[in-house]
Amino acid sequence: MSRPLVDVLPGVAVITVLGGGLVGLCFNESLLVSPGKTWWNGDWGVAYEDALDEEFLVREPSIDLFGIVEWWLFGEGRRGVVVGEDGWLFTAEEFELYPGALERAETRARRVAEVQTEMAKRGTALLVAYLPSKARVQADHLGGHRVPAEVAAVGPRFVQGLRAAGVDVLELEGALESVEGDAFLHTDTHWTPAGARAVAAMLAEHVKEGGADWVGGATVTLGEGAPGPHEGDLLRYIPLGPLQAQLGPPLDTLATPTATVESGGGLLGNAAIPVAVVGTSYSEDKRWGFVAGLQAELQADVLNAARQGQGPFVAMDEYLADEAWTESPPRLVIWEIPERYVGMEE
């Protein structure tokens, strides 16, 4: 794109947004034909907004153009993203202090201890994999942003509660900081395959030190898909429309790890699986290769019981109600809990 065109884009965007708004106002059916709602209690206004959303033909292009203005002039995205340096994006959830977060951290630590007790009754060990925030691990890419001290205090309160209750918890910051290269994706909330594999190695080492006799019960071979561009989940907060590739942050490159698991008798079928992983999209999404990495490090099969978009605590409640637990409890459950969920409201 030529420089003169880029220079006039913000002005064009503003004119388009204002002009589109005027067109939408003039031709909105709710304005021309009353929806029969009373105006004094706000019902008419709500009906008008709904009709405007349905009939405003240039709404999406206007959103894209306004996104260009925010990004080009101010280097900012929509609410939900924190823009760091050199194309690094962070979820705003890692910077937000939720009301009652400290108390919620303590309550959830007690809940984890209850789960550990419940599992122990059936001969299952629990290991909490406590995943630090991307903003903490990649703090050198935050630019002028900082995680508020009140937010940073929530995680330690949770871990302190776990340790006081005798919960086996492994803090994973050291593993992620040891990665050569990036432990997290630039434009995504999640870790890189290298970060996921480093965490899998630390967890496996911890399990082996505990003397688990099921380690090595299978043969696991790792593979890797072809590398390709990855549009991170945080790019949705920077809507640049057709100019995304020209103006937006560079895309990450991702090669998804895969695992083939075999026992002495061939591919594993209905054989008992000794390990289950419960958690979030860090585990559930196969693109990062976390469960594949665990299988390789433990040379054992691993059941992926994580859930996407629900948080680690809801995921555990669902697992405990599932036949995978009630009918065939594993020897070990690894509960992946990201830091940002600890104080978050459900």
The verdict on whether 7 is a catalytic residue reads no
Active site residue 2: no
Set 62, 133, 186, 190: catalytic member: 190
Active-site residue identified among 141, 188, 283, 301 = 188
SS3 81: strand
Tokens of 262: 């075999």
Non-local (6+) Cβ contacts of 250 within 8 A are 87, 186
Q: What share of the chain is helix, strand, coil (3-state, %, to 5)?
A: 50, 15, 35
Token pair in block for residue 250 = 């560079």
Spatial separation of the C-alpha atoms in residues 301 and 324, rounded to whole Å: 14
The 3-class secondary structure across 162-223, one letter per residue, is HHHCCCCEEECHHHHHCCCCCCECCCCCCECHHHHHHHHHHHHHHHHHCCCCCCCCCEEEEE
Number of H helices, E strands in the chain: 15, 12
Comparing CA positions, the residue from 339, 180, 181, 307 lying closest to residue 252 is: 181
Give strand pairing partners of 302: 275
**Whether residue 141 lies in the annotated active site:** no
CA 4 to the chain's CA centroid: 38
Q: How far is it, in rounded angstroms, from Cα 337 to Cα 110?
A: 14
Q: What is d(CA 252, CA 187) in angstroms, rounded to the nearest whole number?
A: 7
Q: Which candidate in 30, 62, 133, 281 is catalytic?
A: 281
What six digits make up the tokens of 115?
Answer: 């789960």
Just list the catalytic residues. 188, 190, 281
